[in-house]
Amino acid sequence: MLQQFFDYRPEVLALDEQALELCRPYFARMEAIRDYNQLKMLKAFADNNLSATHLLGSTGYGLWDAGRDKLEAIFAQVMGAEDALVRSQFMSGTHTLTVALFGVLRTGDTLLAATGRPYDTLEGVIGLDGKGRGNGTLMDYGILYDEAPLKPDHMPDYELIARKAPGAKVCHIQRSRGYCQRTAFDLATIQKIADTARAANPDIIIFVDNCYGEFTQKQEPTQAGADLIVGSFIKNPGGGIAPTGGYIAGRRDLVEQCAYRLTAPSLGKELGCTLDTLREMYLGFYYAPGVVCDAVKTAIYAECLLELCGITPVPRYCDDHNDIVTCFDSGSAEALVGFCSGIQAASPVDSYVTPQPSEEPGYTDQVVMASGAFTEGSTIELSCDGPLRAPYTCYLQGGLNFAASRAGVLLAVQNAYFAGR
């Protein structure tokens, strides 16, 4: 059937059949997680008595917006949190993380990065290596930074975390990998980091960047020691339907502090109109477990296909998956651009475009990026990107449905590794 729509080489189609057979038991494992999370979602919607009137938005100040408040109550229940801040006013994951960090940190406090250097775009938020200095970084406001680098095997250094935690206000955990070739941290690892930091400092705030990790397991980090979790709504929890937004969830007092940073002191969660976004945010969140399942199935399939081509991805297709991201060394700049071009060519939007390396705000190197998405920057939709630096690592993520994503991955592999044959 694939050959009917795209021009695949016979040897590539043979790899496709082999990969599908190898992936079958791992697909079943992910489908069981999907079903559990979907029922948990349904129960939260029913428990909170959602009505059709809650799908209507508000204007102006957004005072007494019952639909917004109901969405946050449902979100908090699903995430196992006391409270949540779910707003379309969050412009990106980085913006949401920024609001949360400024919400809980004060002058003289120390931010401890317990999983090594944070993702590139946060470096300018913190002020690392002089980035963003003078523009309102955490360091500009007298907030200190400390770091516990990962060990050579990409696992946390628990002894170092225990030594550094007593001097820290916030323990930052990045669940996903950023531009680092490691597997995403599972909830057991997050719990161990939290337990280690709290044993050394009972008052420390455990702060998890949950981007790309939502609904990949049956629980969330708030049920594994986290005081706050933060993420983007145009990644996993928006289900590819939410047009924008982000979330902060966790302890009620901390969520309130973050709300004061988003709006203004004394106003907090009471302000923030929703316009016409509520229906899409509810609908996207409701469908998110199924969409995330297909995104992880896409990752499993891509990893298996790459291994059959002699390439070693992280994680492997037979490993547990704690986020929707796959990374692998493409081998050259040409292969990296070729793979991204294959993904773009099988995208529903802008399929005629050929990705070109370019400067991206917040990134050190030029980045090549394929993202033929309905929502700009929505990495729950099939996309891939990578910095143009050796070893030319490609980061593949997303996939709204497996059938279309499979076609795109197969075309990307053919474009990168079979084009010259």
Q: How confident is the model at residue 138 (pLDDT cuts 50, 70, 90)?
A: very high
- Tokens describing residue 238: 């928006």
pLDDT digit string, tens, across residues 42-65:
999 999 999 999 999 999 999 999
pLDDT value for 162: 98
pLDDT value for 191: 98
Residue 4 has pLDDT above 80, yes or no: no
pLDDT value for 362: 64
Q: How confident is the model at residue 178 (pLDDT cuts 50, 70, 90)?
A: confident
As to burial, measured by CB atoms within 10 angstroms (0-12 exposed, 13-18 middle, 19+ buried), residue 353 is: middle
Q: How far apart are CA 75 and CA 3, in angstroms?
A: 42
The residues spanned by each domain of the chain are 2-39+286-417, 55-276
- Least confident stretch, 116-125, 253-262, 318-327: 116-125
Return the DSSP state at 358: B
pLDDT value for 353: 92
pLDDT value for 5: 84
pLDDT value for 299: 98
Q: What is the mean pLDDT of residues 241-259?
A: 98
User: What fold does the segment set 2-39+286-417 form as a domain?
Assistant: Aspartate Aminotransferase, domain 1 (3.90.1150)
Place of tokens 């920024």: 98
pLDDT value for 293: 98
Strands 144-147 and 205-209: unpaired
Q: What distances in angstroms separate CA 5 from CA 1, 99, 360, 411, one per listed residue?
A: 7, 45, 33, 11
Q: How confident is the model at residue 29 (pLDDT cuts 50, 70, 90)?
A: very high
Radius of gyration of the chain (CA): 21
- Least confident stretch, 19-28, 162-171, 408-417: 408-417
pLDDT value for 163: 98
Alpha helices in 49-132 (DSSP H): 66-79, 93-104, 120-126
Q: Pick from 88, 321, 94: which is nearest to 215 by CA?
A: 321
Structural contact between residues 30 and 321, judged by C-beta atoms closer than 8 angstroms:
yes
Question: How many CB atoms lie under 10 A from the CB of residue 17?
Answer: 9
User: What fold does the segment set 55-276 form as a domain?
Assistant: Aspartate Aminotransferase; domain 2 (3.40.640)
Structural contact between residues 298 and 398, judged by C-beta atoms closer than 8 angstroms:
yes
Rounded percentage of the chain residues whose pLDDT exceeds 70: 99
pLDDT value for 82: 98
Question: How many CB atoms lie under 10 A from the CB of residue 30?
Answer: 21
Residue 179 has pLDDT above 80, yes or no: no
Residue 230 has pLDDT above 90, yes or no: yes
pLDDT digit string, tens, across residues 355-383:
998 887 766 788 899 999 999 989 899 99
Q: What is the mean pLDDT of residues 216-233?
A: 98
pLDDT value for 181: 82
pLDDT value for 301: 98
pLDDT value for 421: 56
